[in-house]
Structure 1
Amino acid sequence: MADLSPSLSPATVAVAAGRPPHEPDQPLNVPISMASTFVAGGDREYGRYGNPTWSAFEDALGRLEGGRCLAYASGMAAVTTILDLVGHDATVVAPRHAYQGSIMSLADLEARGRIKAHLVDIEDTPAVVAACADAALVWLESPTNPALELADIETIAAAAHEAGAYVVVDNTFATPLLQQPIALGADIVVHSATKYLSGHSDVLLGAIVVAPDQAELYDVLLNRRSLTGSTPGTFETWLALRGMRTLHLRVERAQANAQALLPRLEKHPAVSEVRYPGFGAIVSIVVDGELAADLLVRTTTLWVHATSLGGVESTFERRRRWKTEAATIPEGLVRMSVGIEDVEDLWADLSTALDQVVAERPATGG
């Protein structure tokens, strides 16, 4: 790959990393390498062991996060690969509010007697620090999904390391442009690259980034990926790298849109609570219960009712429609992934739907 100065900004790295050397007749982009088998004598040999297109994506994301990256078939493939490394009967500390795939994987492992899961309020830093004492792995999200709580990553990571535990941070919501967990003490960063990194709702892909001082852990994960076959598709990886070229532009615009919507949402009579962590383009609002939330997501024409996030289009979802969502998440909470459309168009569509929610409220009498 092309050599890059370590002083480049993340926005520049997103555009420049993972490209061929600047030599005559080299393509600007690494081609899609559709190969299951390679000529013997090198490091690849076979399609489960590596691919030039994967290497380009891994170079770019690794540079952005400040570590060494491995691409996976999906975010869940990355999550389960990490959890599979936890020893028998060991404790994993994790947020009570988090991505449902991660929570369900922990519950499955616990039900089978493999691990002990200790779910915590991630904003209660002293309680999380105390829980680290018995942990083998501390799993963090910051912001959490969908409550948008923030973890004190640096303090928790220090406590976890003192107890001999590894620290994993799911950085899907923040992206490496807004938060770099390895610099705060994390050993591993995990991404659903399906979301912001790819950015166009057309890719299933995951990634793990390992801190530079965890070379042995990187080798273990690489060997596990090769053995289990949780490898990414070449075309999907190429699309994800292509999407990352505009990551900084998309995040900048989506975040600006989200922050422009905040004061309007806070003033609207249909909205009882607005949750926003201070950065990024995910906003959660709370309306008056399940029926109001369902009406909201059915009434818009521009906002799309969908379960994923991080695409160029604005999507939202009542999270408690999933039976596995935590009971502490309000029935009327709607998670909003703000896209890059014109913000006035977004508000016109959303405010019309919110007005309808108010109009449909049951009348109360004395």
Structure 2
Amino acid sequence: MNPHPTHLHPNSWLVTAGRSSEPGASLNVPLVPASNFIIGGKREYSRDDGTPTWEALEELVGGLESGRAVAFASGMAAIAAVFDQLHAGAAVVLPDDCYQGVAGLVAAGAERGRWSVRRVALHDTPGWVDACRSADLVWLESPSNPLLGVADLEAICAAPRKPGAVVAVDNTFATPLNQRPLDFGATVSLQSATKFIGGHSDLLAGVATTSDEAFWHALKKSRELRGATPGTLESFLAVRGARTMALRLERSQQSAMALAERLAVHPAVELVRYPGLESHPTHATARRVLKGYGTIISFDVRGGAAAADAVCRRTGLIRHATSLGAVESTMERRAAIPGQGHLPPSLLRLSVGIEDAEDLWRDLDSALAASMP
């Protein structure tokens, strides 16, 4: 038997979770590419009953989040499964800044009359507490994408809410190593395993974790009926990538803090957003609810969108690409993406990888200097 996650530090759980302890079993989680199984045992069909590879990923993430996990084909598939639980005409509360995929899903549902939507500024804790009284789904994303606002999960999750109301937290940017929403009282915590869990830009997967048994069954049924099952190879890669997540996160966070401090005084930079900086609007909340400030930095380049685009073209070590949370550093201008009209045109989102911090700074500084008139 594997040790229970409460008996291990998260760094150790990441390494041991999902492995078999049976004599003669493979040391590493096997890749089981089976759709069906011989009738009479635990499984018959993978869409309904899962595979050992999926279950290893679910055990790993569920233990980290202090709950029970359901793995999905992508982060958006996990998110859609949460919204799938809402009744017709439900009231949804959404942050003013959140992932454009979520914003698009919510807008599409509202247009069809599936739910009504209220937007609340992430830093407005009294507004969230008030919204909890009437909401059927309180959707939080903390830190937010890409303005990196940090919500007071402790206060919001403890706020009175109507019976059956769901508090969901997209925990992708924080990771379960920096924040565990279920410990604050959230109903469900979501991870895009594409990002920090996989960590190598080579898979799509999502995980939803809850300590509510009925909600877990509902999520699993939604996955089954919608066919949003994770791929076997993707699950295998996510487990393998997660083994080093603690090391990757520690290294990248150290570099992110160093880069954020330098960017804050760079003449080509107008504004830096990083929860670890005292200048960040929600820094005090971040100090209280987060164990680490993360690896994502957002900053505005002087000179507008054209200057920001030029910075992206001129970096070499930092790749001009979307997504985040991987071993390599990536950067993109977020306002160039449809549905991000609320963002400053010159905002760049930088995901700091595990490269040497000095090499990253030379690359970034050179690109910024070339953008100045």
User: Would you say how many aligned residue pairs link Structure 1 and Structure 2?
Assistant: 355
Give the Å deviation of 1:24: 2.7
**Structure 1 residues not aligned, in runs of 5+:** 362-366
Deviations 1:25-62 (A, max 9, x none): 22111211111111112332102021011111100110
User: 2:224 maps to what in 1?
Assistant: 226
Alignment check: 8 A CA contact 1:138 1:160 kept: no
Residues 208-223 of structure 1 aligned to structure 2 (within 5 Å)? 208-211=208-211, 214-223=212-221
**How many angstroms apart in 2 are the aligned matches of 1:322 and 1:120?**
22
Which residue identity does 2:210 align to in structure 1? Answer: V
Secondary structure in 1 matching 2:77: helix
1:101 equivalent to 2:115? Answer no
**How many angstroms apart in 1 are the aligned matches of 2:245 and 2:368?**
30
Match of 2:329 among 308, 311, 314: 314
Deviations 1:293-332 (A, max 9, x none): 11111111111111100010000111100120142x2111
**How many angstroms apart in 1 are the aligned matches of 2:226 and 2:2?**
31
Residues 244-263 of structure 1 aligned to structure 2 (within 5 Å)? 244-263=242-261
**How many angstroms apart in 2 are the aligned matches of 1:162 and 1:89?**
15
Deviations 1:174-223 (A, max 9, x none): 10111111001111011110000000000000110012xx1111111111
Secondary structure in 1 matching 2:218: helix
Say what the alpha-carbon RMSD is for the aligned residues: 1.2
Deviations 1:131-188 (A, max 9, x none): 2222001010110000000101111112253565211000100101111110011110
Secondary structure in 2 matching 1:203: coil
**How many angstroms apart in 1 are the aligned matches of 2:113 and 2:166?**
21
Residues 227-306 of structure 1 aligned to structure 2 (within 5 Å)? 227-278=225-276, 279-288=293-302, 289-306=304-321
**How many angstroms apart in 2 are the aligned matches of 1:167 and 1:254?**
29
Residues 3-42 of structure 1 aligned to structure 2 (within 5 Å)? 3-4=3-4, 6-21=6-21, 23-42=22-41
**How many angstroms apart in 2 are the aligned matches of 1:36 and 1:281?**
37
User: 2:131 maps to what in 1?
Assistant: 131
Which residue identity does 1:235 align to in structure 2? Answer: L
Give the Å deviation of 1:111: 0.6
Give the Å deviation of 1:6: 1.9
- Between 330-339 and 220-229, report the one with greater CA deviation: 220-229
Cα gap change, 1:305/1:81 in structure 2, threshold over 3 Å: closer, same or farther?
A: same
Which residue identity does 1:171 align to in structure 2? Answer: N
**How many angstroms apart in 2 are the aligned matches of 1:140 and 1:4?**
29
Give the Å deviation of 1:237: 0.2
Alignment check: 8 A CA contact 2:194 2:201 kept: yes
Secondary structure in 1 matching 2:247: helix
User: 2:283 maps to what in 1?
Assistant: none
Give the Å deviation of 1:9: 0.7
**How many angstroms apart in 2 are the aligned matches of 1:222 and 1:160?**
27
Give the Å deviation of 1:263: 1.8
Match of 2:360 among 346, 351, 356: 346
Give the Å deviation of 1:2: 2.2
User: 2:121 maps to what in 1?
Assistant: 121
Which residue identity does 2:71 align to in structure 1? Answer: A
Percent identity reads 50
Cα gap change, 1:160/1:54 in structure 2, threshold over 3 Å: closer, same or farther?
A: farther
Give the Å deviation of 1:269: 0.2
**How many angstroms apart in 2 are the aligned matches of 1:138 and 1:42?**
40
Cα gap change, 1:338/1:92 in structure 2, threshold over 3 Å: closer, same or farther?
A: same
Give the Å deviation of 1:226: 1.3
**How many angstroms apart in 2 are the aligned matches of 1:9 and 1:167?**
27
**How many angstroms apart in 1 are the aligned matches of 2:60 and 2:164?**
30
**How many angstroms apart in 1 are the aligned matches of 2:16 and 2:136?**
37
Which residue identity does 2:350 align to in structure 1? Answer: M
Which residue identity does 2:223 align to in structure 1? Answer: R
User: 1:364 maps to what in 2?
Assistant: none
- Stretches of 4+ moved more than 3 A in 1? 160-164
**How many angstroms apart in 1 are the aligned matches of 2:32 and 2:318?**
36
